[in-house]
Chains A and B, each alone.
Chain A
Amino acid sequence: MSLRCRSALLLCLALVVSAPQMALAHAAIMEAEVAQAIRLHAFYETGEPMSQAQVIIYAPDDPAQVWGQGIADMDGRYEFIPDAIAGRWSVQVRQAGHGVMAHLEIGANAPVITVSSTPDTWAQRALMVALVAWGALGTALYARSRKGKPDASA
């Protein structure tokens, strides 16, 4: 399910590149679309990042099942591109036996409306998650290169 995180874009690129090659050998075509993504930053109240914390994402249409999961980077950051499903998306971040849950509402036009997260009041420590929508320009990147001659069989 981690294909839905940031690496999803790269995977899509790879598929776009490989598909035309079947029909047109030696031609490399790359298409990319800038999509709206969610950037998550998980850290403690002290500012210490939740490095390599487990991230689990639930979509609004089937909130009991995991939609995607992955591992935050060393800075406690994680990014994913949600499907075009309006409603409440929920994100869990877990580390060392403690977790935090955050919710974000995505409307029909995909803006992030609200974000809330669970504080951990134990021992004056808090886990925090900040969710920020970014990259909603909808522009496309198109690149194409051709190496060598076209395959005669194509």
Chain B
Amino acid sequence: MRKTACLAAAFCIVAPALHADSLTLFATGEDLATAGFTAPKLTRDGWALEFSRIMVSFDQITAWQSNPPFMADGPEIFGEALVFPGPVIVDLVDADEDDRVKLASMVAAPGHYNALSWALVPAASGEIEGYSLVLEGVARKDGQDVAFTLRSADAMMHACGEYMGDTRKGFVTDDSAGDLEITLHLDHLFGRADKGAEDETNIAALGFDSFAAGGVYEFSLGDLHVGHVGEGHCHVTSM
């Protein structure tokens, strides 16, 4: 009995502080952010990338209960909105064991939050002032080490449909908390050597050769469609 009580107490201490009626937002650059681009997942032009930090500035984050479901086919989402405080600046390299970084958690009405809108916005102050996305690290190829800083000042609004992944997300009930995830697909920036040259990712991606001299570069997110919700898609609009 004592042992059971101790175990229960221990569980209470380590259990995540998520209330049953809450919705928690995470951001992730997946393993490509935390582990980098390593063989066979090199960039499309054969570079290994190790990131020291990937700073992202998010704002206007809103979870939606849309009915009928929003299908990421336009900039506007209709439904019940849950607005999260912002802006939020996070480092996607400094992530948990699931490669996720917590953005915020809020009390939420029960339901299925099946859409998510958010913006990448230039930071108003701080280390990445003026930029919405900054990637720093070292690239390696053929014995050459190249230190780089790549940064974008673009402001991009994302209107996303339902999160898509191994588990369906966004359900808040009286008994359980829900979570959602903003997913940045870094292979849309750099491509992937383990995919064919004709793969859409590699056709559109920047690769790394154009940054191979090292130093600081600015780039445009343009039509790269880096922002997703898991494997689900977003309608992207320049702000």
Residues of A participating in the B interface, judged by any CB pair closer than 8 Å = 58, 63-64, 66, 90, 92, 94, 97-99, 101, 103, 114, 116-123, 125
From 166 to 195 in chain B, residues with beta carbon under 8 angstroms from any chain A beta carbon are: 168, 171, 185, 187-188
Q: Is the CB of A116 within 8 A of B233?
A: no
CB distance from B205 to the nearest CB of A (A): 10
Q: Which of B7-15, B65-73, B124-132, B213-221 contacts A (4 or more CB under 8 A)?
A: B65-73
- Cβ contacts under 8 Å, A92 to chain B: 164
* Contact B71–A119 (Cβ < 8 Å): yes
How many whole Å from A107's CB to the nearest CB in chain B? 15
User: With A58-B168, A118-B73, A119-B73 in contact, is A103–B68 under 8 Å at CB?
Assistant: yes
Contact, CB under 8 Å: A64 / B235 = no
Contacts of B161 in A (CB 8 A): 101, 118
* Cβ-neighbour of B112 out of A63, A94, A117, A122 (below 8 A): A63
Query: Which residues of B in the span 56-108 have a Cβ within 8 Å of any Cβ on A?
Result: 68-69, 71-73
A116 touching B69 by the CB < 8 A rule? yes
Contact check: which of A63, A98, A117 meets B71 at CB < 8 Å? Answer: A117
Contact digits for B193-208, partner A, Cβ 8 Å, 1 yes 0 no: 0000000100110000
Contact A123 B112 (CB under 8 A): no
Q: How far is the CA of A118 from the CA of B235 in the complex (A)?
A: 10
Question: Count of chain B residues with Cβ under 8 Å from any Cβ of A?
Answer: 25
* Residues of B with C-beta under 8 A to A103: 68-69
**Are B225 and A121 in contact, CB atoms less than 8 angstroms apart?**
yes
Instruction: State the CA gap A98–B162 with chains docked (Å).
Output: 13
Chain A residue at minimum C-beta to C-beta distance from B200:
A123
**Interface residue from B168, B188, B231 paired with A63 (Cβ < 8 Å):** B168
Interface residues of B in 17-73 (CB under 8 A from A): 68-69, 71-73
CA distance A58 to B236 in the complex (A): 27
Q: Which residues of B contact A122 (CB under 8 A)?
A: 188, 200, 204, 223, 225, 233
Q: Which residues 135-163 of B sit at the A interface, judged by CB distance below 8 A?
A: 161-162
Least Cβ distance of B116 to chain A in Å?
Answer: 13
Q: Which residues of A contact B71 (CB under 8 A)?
A: 101, 116-119
Contacts of A63 in B (CB 8 A): 112, 168, 171
Is the beta-carbon distance between A123 and B168 smaller than 8 angstroms? no
- Tell me, in angstroms, the Cα distance from A94 to B71 when the chains sit together: 16
CA–CA, A101 and B204, complex, Å = 24
How far does the alpha carbon of A66 sit from the alpha carbon of B187 in the complex, in Å?
29
Contacts known (A63-B168, A101-B164); A116 close to B72, Cβ less than 8 A: no
Q: Which chain A positions have C-beta within 8 A of B72?
A: 118-119, 121
In Å, the complex CA distance between A121 and B227 comes to 12
3 closest Cβ pairs, A-B complex: A99-B231, A122-B225, A99-B164
Measured in the bound complex, the distance between the Cα atoms of B169 and A64 in whole Å is: 7
B168 touches A64 (CB 8 A): yes
* In the complex, chain B residues 220-239 whose Cβ is within 8 Å of any chain A Cβ: 223, 225, 230-233, 235-236
Contacting A94 at CB < 8 Å: which of B73, B164, B223?
A: B164
What residues of chain B lie closer than 8 Å to A114, measured between beta carbons? 68
State A92–B68 Cα separation when bound (angstroms).
16
Measured between C-beta atoms, what is the minimum distance from B102 to chain A in Å? 21
